[in-house]
Structure 1
Amino acid sequence: MHTVRRIYTASPKLHLPATIVAGGRRATVKPISSSSRAYQHATQTDRDTITRLLYSIGSKKEVERYLRIFSASSHPSHPAKFAVIKVGGAVLDQLDELALSLSFLYRVGLYPVVLHGGGPQLNTIIEAEGIIPDYIDGIRITDAKTLQIARRVFLEENLRLVTALEKLGARARPITSGVFTADYLHQEKYGLVGKIIKVDKRPLEASIRAGALPILTSLAETADGQILNVNADVAAGELAKELEPLKIVYLNEHGGLYHGVTKEKLDVINLDEDFNSLMKEEWVKYGTKLKLREIKELLDHLPRTSSVAIISADSLQKELFTDSGAGTLIRRGYKLFKHDSLEAVGADRLRQVIHDRDPDVISGYSSVSGALTELSKTPYTIYGDEPFDVVAIVSHPPNEIPVMTRFLPSRSGILNSVVENVFNAIKKDHRKLFWTARADDENRAWHFEKADGSFTRAGKSLFWYGIQDINEVERVVRDFEAKGRIERSYLPVNPPPGHRVAASGVATRGSRSTSQRVALIGARGYTGQALINILSTHPHLDLAHVSSRELAGFALQGYSKNSGLKYEALSTEDVERMEETGMIDAWIMALPNGVCKPFVDAIDRGTVKRANTPGKKPSVVIDLGGDYRFENGWTYGLPEVYGRSSIASATRIANPGCFATSSQLLMAPLLPYLDLSAPPTVFGVSGYSGGGTKAGEKAADGRPTTVAKVDPEGLAGGVRPYSLTDHLHEREVGHHLSSLLESGSSIRPAFIPTVAPWFSGILSVLSAPMTKEMRASDVKELFQEQYKGDKLINVQSTIPALGEIENWHGWRAGGFQVHSSGQRAVIVGGLDNLLKGAATQCIQNLNIALGYDEYAGIPLGA
């Protein structure tokens, strides 16, 4: 299966100015009434809200990129360039889902041209009237009575869809004639069936300029006015040839095409390679054969970068706004080449590709001439496709393991999955392979998915496949270094005594072998010890330095990877030097509020100096305190609410507070429905470990000890509310959740913290007034939808109990109830304040930032 297969038409004539025209029309200059302002505000609110909802199906970067591309297609001079969506008759029976998906696009200012069929509905009626449907080559034979019924059915289905859209607030215009002009396809053979000879796009463009979705039937007229039936797939193809849209989508009830024997969904069909063999398959017949034939004819007419997606109605947003897409993708495909000489490829052409795409050449780390000189050292093969969207160079001396020295995809090569085709061609030739990529490569996830393991060191990663034994990997890498086949060492530097990293035998994201060096500053408290416990079994992260002034010189306890590791008292000068020389890959600041800045400033100074050394990238810094949670330039690390993409590219991450984590997880699913005029309230009860530690009596060996600032005896078995107003977490929650609201809106939650006589664990109760009446089951469904796929989130019916959250690394939500008014929801959330509220969340963020599996090293058992 292809992991990245996004395709959109990229013909030069479609590179349009990025003009967004509300309602498909250019506004004239005139005084704006209050009602107009209200309409414009509501329209923008809809767009902003739905745009934020899109972030739940893809990264913010993906969604914004496609919105920008699609919005550019809505230019007044050619407004119908966005998409042609063909709706199968069976999909019309899923009318609510279909209308919802189309209105979704309308509300973000996108206007697809929608054309529907009606075959199943037509068959039901004509069979009831004693007419047996008859087909030749997938084309319905149409006599006068059948056409009469077909016209009635198409008009009724058209009106049903238009009505459903307008009930959802999306304007739609029925267009049942005037678009397709046809001749008889073969009157004696097929009867009243048309072959389209002309498409008039003016009614479509007029509809879009008027701010309405055009909804077409697949009926055509002759020049003399005779109505003819046209297969909907054929009509959609002719429409797409005329409009050359960015997207061509066929909606069917199955969500794609399926192999007739294996019953497996066909993810991608490359017509250049697969068409002839598919058409010979016994299960490809009737409508399927006609559909494939018409799609091939369509794509032969359009630029090679065009494609057709066959999906279900509920996958429309995923297909349009994510790189992974949905359903079955049909494209012409790309012819590949492989040559063992520069002359066969063309030196000038290859030189230009290296100049334009090689990140080391672009950064000045190496030169084009140096890259070409390397080709004279060993036998090599150059792989690529005819348009040079992807070029790869593999060095393979006799009896040695090959190294892919260059892998240079263009943006089109990535979006059109040419990278997959080229890499698969390499894998056919080489059972084992090593290659490198920069740690800031925007497609780094693709490399991890293709590799059996990797080493990462100072801004670059070395990947491999075909070797499962880490000892063999190390021997191969040392041989590469000795022969100059790789430019630097990727092996772990000074690994802890007796410690050996392990390579995984499964080529999936996160299955990598590496040894990233972590420094923990402020390790004396409860959170510091929780971090040490997790890092002790983490497959990719090793503690290199642990700093605590009070414990300097004492052995670190509880860390199994290196029994000889001792606490240090690192100064800011030490920290700056370590960052400058690249000794540390990640810093964790587990310090009290207000004392972190000197160390971060030292790291920043070291980063500036480190940047002057080619190939050395800044380390990642995570602050567990509250000093940087409102700071520009720092990424707020709550992935389940704000997404992973910003964390993945961040080097400065602010870890949320424990109460703030639970509060935001409670509010996020309800955000579109919260009554901002009556802010929500969270009552939170935390174990006393949340109050931190203070110095205790020294142990017998002189080691300083710590005790809780608040203890059960001081609480006398009860609970103690504190910081009843203006708590830091109250401001933190409001500040960050407001960033998800429309511009100018904000949320001001009330928060009441309380400390209880148990050690760890937070129970938070949210009381949230809402603008929409809901049932408890509706609220629970919102939570299930929001957090599906999040392995550290558990949505349950019962109220989370303390025993369920103590020492558990995730967050639980339950006890869903709604007030009798239907407009106030009450939900209970629970987490361990030392784990998901601090240490676990820190590791989660660190994994994402360093490119590992998000949950690496984190126990996932409930």
Structure 2
Amino acid sequence: MEGDLPGQANAVNVGSSILQGASLPVISGGEFNSSEGDHNRITITILQGVPRQRDDRHEASSTLHQGQRNLRRDHMVSRDLSDVQGEECIEEQSSNAVRQRDNTSVWGIQSVAQTDRDTITRLLYSIGTKREVERHLHIFSSSSNPSQPAKFAVIKVGGAVLSNLDELALSLSFLYRVGLYPVVLHGAKPQLNEIMKREGVVPNYIDGIRVTDAKTLQIARRVFLEENLKLVSALEKLGTRARPITSGVFTAEYLDKEKYKLFGKITKVDKRPIEASIRDGALPILTSLAETADGQILNVSAGIAAGELAKELEPMKIVFLNNKGGLFHGVTGEKLDVINLDEEYVTLMKEPWVKYGTKLKLREFKELLDHLPRLSSVAVISASSLQKELFTDSGAGTLIRRGYKLFKHDNIGEIGVDRFCQVVHDRDPEVLAGFQSVTDVLSDLEKTPYSVYGDESLDVVAIVSHPEGEVPVMTKMLSSRGGVLSDLMDNVFNAIKKDHWKLFWTAPADDENRAWHFERADGSFTREGKSLFWHGVKDVAEVEKIIKDYEANGRIERSFLPVAPSAPPHRLVTSPRGTRGFSTMARRFLRNLPGSSRGSATAAAPTPSTQPELLGLIEARGFTGQALTTLPPAHHSHVSSRQLAGYPLDGYTKTPVTYSNLSPQDVESLEKSGEVDDWVMALPNGVCKPFVDAIDRGAKERETGEGSVVVGLSADYKFEKGRTCGLPGEASS
């Protein structure tokens, strides 16, 4: 049995321990389609949490911190497993039976690592949406490769941050648990000043630079090594492998020996010790000490060392951790969320409130980013908010990036035909799939008036076709990976919306940025492998009229008609009255609302029934399914989940209900016998059809001749005849 495999029970304990007391939010979007294997206990622990709204930032942060604190308990399990692995590897030499057991134990340890990553990833959902977290995690994970393993981030830790070592270690452990390896470099200024004061050495600064005599360097070296080992030990206690690297990375020369004595200027960075550490699965922890070519140790600025390190490694993120959590306006005291240097640097440096330290920081950040790829950015943040800064679009500290300057032209000649053609050749999904050539794209542009939007570096290029008197169509939205990560797509899209308050566009159903399209659209549907999106149109009849005009004028290649059902529907997707129609997002499940109808616009409002309706819920394991199990009006007859089959439905007190694993054949039998009044399909797109077909077959054999109501949260039947898509009182007949 799988549950008897060595290591599996331990894997369950790891996940459960991490999530004790943690509650995860209901993720917007209506579905949770992820595969975590067969670790049912972990899934149950996660889903037992009380759903929270994403805007509840304080509680979400508390949830994350609770999960962080529980990491301390988990490292003992992982270390025990490592000990078991070592013992079994010795026994492996004695017999084949033991060898077989050892292989299983190794599987168990790998299972723990994967479970750890999945669990921590889910815990990150408490600070942002599932799509945000997974998109950023995917981008960061893919930034490094075996030949260049240090491309994720350089994190500079201020000495003041080291005073709260537990918070820092937990934040770094979170990154390690999801497979990310930042390069950590720390200073120790307050600790050094304290020791020097205790030993009667007065700090001496010239031009903000510490004058480092032999006595000061001796103390500095001791303090740096002590603080480095403290951080390494704190990480190791959490089960996070870390390697102290206190020399061999920075080569320096004297900045001014007469003036600053043993203070250096970095001339070379050797990244080999750092990359070797990451390849061995350990976080590299560096100090800000350098050596001359002949071996003399020199003190260097930790901030400058982090910058030089970043120039050598070219990471996606350079993070400066401080206790303030960002940069702040000198007059209003408000935190600065984003600084786009290309647009704002000159203006900011002239502001009267930008003085001294702030001006120096901005100058250093600009000089650093000018040497790095445009995709790189600097974040100033506190250790406790590191996850939110890295894995959400809104961030938490101050983001500094080179930025962009947007343009709008009425002819591609103004950005250069060759440059535009190269973008189309490299990014257009139609061209990459062979459905169009670059020449075809150029020919299509000549058919209607158009505008081209984008940024100067062409990380994002969009084409909007806008013939006189017709609704505009965004025919192209071509973004580089950097354009997605830096939110440049959103800025270009917002510029388009300012000019065109109604807009339609299409995208392949398997587009890698498909989630972006759904989140920005007011409505959408997918047919034959292509999705149609629209913004600024709320009425379905208007949508259908616009699409008919598009097809008549040859502006849309595929047939997207009919948009709405043409016959009286018999399925109802209910939602609060007055909210947005034809949304791709699932709304709250409400039953028998006064004023709602079963699908006919002329139907009278039903009289609320006092007889409880028996609800069958298919796939209750995801976030949406779990939310539906907690609705007060629901009387659950059958709750199905492949992962949770056999476990009781926690939190439901009306009657005892146990999770089952219903097949389409089971659903057909239940429908035929009339045991279920209403079915809810909390299934992802493409999975719903076999179950709905089974219900239809069972309904035909019912003695009453009337089938159950089916609520589908996917788009499988969204615009087919005989199915209702809309809100109470708004559905077309």
Q: Same fold (TM over 0.5)?
A: yes
| Residues 460 and 280 (structure 1), Cα distance of their counterparts in 2 relative to 1, 3 Å cut | same
Alignment of 1:318-717 (within 5 A): 318-319=388-389, 327-351=397-421, 353-354=423-424, 357-359=427-429, 369=439, 371-396=441-466, 403-426=473-496, 430=499, 432-438=501-507, 440=509, 441-447=511-517, 450=520, 453-454=522-523, 460-465=531-536, 520=570, 534=575, 539-540=580-581, 559=597, 562-564=600-602, 636=619, 638-640=621-623, 660=639, 687=654
Distance 1:409 1:191, change over 3 A: same
Closer, same or farther: CA 369–687 of 1 in aligned 2, 3 Å = same
Inter-CA distance 519–206: structure 2 relative to 1 (3 Å threshold): same
Cα distance, 1:562–1:161 mapped onto 2, change above 3 Å: same
Over 3 Å counting, the alpha-carbon distance change for 1:269 and 1:378 in structure 2 is same
SS of alignment partner, residue 242 of structure 1: helix
Aligned residue for 2:590? none
C-alpha deviation, 1:161, in angstroms:
0.9
Asked whether the equivalents of residues 637 and 656 of structure 1 are also in contact (C-alpha less than 8 Å), the reply is no
CA distance 1:683–1:281, shift in 2 (3 Å): closer
Distance 1:158 1:363, change over 3 A: closer
* Distance in 2 separating the partners of 1:369 and 1:225: 61
In the other structure, the counterpart of 1:98 is 168
Equivalent in 351, 373, 376 of residue 306 of structure 1: 376
- Give the C-alpha shift of residue 420 in structure 1: 3.2
Residue in 2 aligned with 1:194? 264
Instruction: Output the amino acid matched with 2:581.
Output: H
Q: Quick check: 454-463 or 195-204, which moved more? A: 454-463
Q: Would the alpha carbon gap of residues 271 and 408 (structure 1) be closer, same or farther in structure 2, given more than 3 Å must change?
A: same
* Bigger shift: residues 269-278 or 481-490: 481-490
Corresponding letter in the other structure for 2:351: E
1:52 aligns with 2:118: yes
2:300 corresponding residue in structure 1: 230
TM-score normalized by the length of structure 1 = 0.53
Give the number of the structure whose residues are more often strand, by fraction.
1
Task: Label 1:61 to 1:325 Cα distance change in 2 as closer, same or farther (>3 A).
Answer: closer
Contact residue 46 and residue 107 of structure 1 kept, 8 A: no
SS at match of 1:89: coil
1:292 aligns with 2:275: no
Distance 1:518 1:446 in 2: 34
1:73 aligned residue: 144
Aligned runs of 1:33-44 on 2, under 5 Å?
A: 33=90, 40-41=106-107, 43-44=109-110
Q: What does residue 171 of structure 1 align with?
A: 241
Give the 3 Å change call, closer, same or farther, for CA 152–290 of structure 1 in structure 2.
Answer: farther
Do 1:89 and 1:119's aligned partners in 2 also have CA atoms closer than 8 Å?
Answer: yes
Q: Deviations over 1:40-76 (max 9, x none)?
A: 456424421221121342548964984696478363x
- Alpha-carbon deviations, 1:187-239, whole Å to 9, x = none? 45545432111223344345445554332111223345443322211111112
Q: Answer yes or no: is the 8 Å Cα contact 2:569–2:600 preserved in 1.
A: no
Q: When the two structures are aligned, how many residues end up with a matched partner?
A: 555
Once the two structures are superposed, what CA deviation does each residue of 1:235-255 show, in whole Å capped at 9, x if it has no partner?
Answer: 111122223345433222233
Tell me the residue number matched to 2:250: 180
Q: Secondary structure at the match of 1:381?
A: strand
Q: CA deviation at 1:565?
A: 5.4
- Once residues 573 and 401 of structure 2 are traced to their aligned partners in structure 1, the CA distance between those partners, rounded to angstroms, is 51
| 1:342-375 Cα distance to aligned partner (Å, 9 max, x none) | 4334445534544554455667777755543343
1:158 CA displacement: 1.5
Instruction: Tell me: CA distance 1:97–1:686, structure 2 relative to 1, closer, same or farther (3 Å).
Output: closer
Shift of 1:100: 1.9
Name the SS of the counterpart of 1:164 in structure 2: helix
Structure 2 runs not aligned, ≥5 long? 1-77, 80-87, 93-101, 584-593, 605-612, 628-633, 664-675, 678-707, 720-725, 729-733
User: Aligned pair in 2 of structure 1 residues 540, 110: CA closer, same or farther (>3 Å)?
Assistant: closer
CA 1:340–1:362 in 2, change beyond 3 Å: closer, same or farther?
same
1:212/1:349 CA distance change after superposition, 3 Å: closer
Question: What is the alpha-carbon distance in structure 1 between the residues aligned to residue 542 and residue 264 of structure 2?
Answer: 67
1:806 corresponds in structure 2 to none
Is there any run of 5+ residues in structure 1 with no aligned partner, and where? 1-21, 24-30, 497-516, 522-530, 543-555, 567-590, 593-623, 630-635, 645-654, 668-678, 689-720, 734-758, 761-837
Contact residue 342 and residue 402 of structure 2 kept, 8 A: yes
Q: 1:47–1:108: 8 Å Cα contact kept in structure 2?
A: no
Distance 1:113 1:254 in 2: 22
Q: Which amino acid aligns with 1:435?
A: F
In 2, the alpha carbon distance for the partners of 1:269 and 1:118 equals 28
Report if the CA contact (8 A) 2:524-2:582 is conserved.
no
Give, in angstroms, the shift of residue 271 of structure 1: 2.4
The 8 Å contact of residues 620 and 639 in structure 2, kept in 1 or not, is answered as: no
Counterpart of 1:261 (choices 316, 320, 331) is 331
Question: For the Cα contact (< 8 Å) 1:50–1:104, is it kept in 2?
Answer: no
**1:184–1:194 contact (8 Å) kept in structure 2:** yes
Task: Evaluate the alpha carbon distance shift between residue 118 and residue 857 of structure 1 in structure 2; reply closer, same or farther with a 3 A threshold.
Answer: farther
Q: Distance in 2 between matches of 1:63 and 1:280?
A: 39
> Cα–Cα, structure 1 residues 208 and 305, in superposed 2: closer, same or farther, change >3 Å?
closer
Contact persistence 2:136–2:485 (CA under 8 A): no
Shift of 1:117: 1.2
Match of 1:280 among 322, 328, 350: 350
C-alpha separation in 1, matches of 2:369 and 2:142: 23
The 1-side partners of 2:280 and 2:525 are apart by 55
Return the alpha-carbon distance in structure 2 between the equivalents of residues 353 and 418 of structure 1. Answer: 16
> Structure 1 residues 193, 403: closer, same or farther in 2, change over 3 A?
same
Shift of 1:658: 6.2
Instruction: Name the CA shift for 1:493/1:48 in 2 (closer, same or farther; >3 Å).
Output: closer
Tell me, in whole angstroms, the C-alpha distance in 2 between the residues paired with 1:216 and 1:489.
60
Verify the 8 A CA contact 2:473 2:504 in the aligned structure 1.
yes
Q: How far apart in 2 are the matches of 1:392 and 1:103?
A: 40
1:658 and 1:475, CA in 2 relative to 1: closer, same or farther beyond 3 A? same
Provide, for residues 435-488 of structure 1, a one-character-per-residue CA deviation record: whole Å limited to 9, x for no partner: 31338355455446556x4565855445345x8999999998888788766678
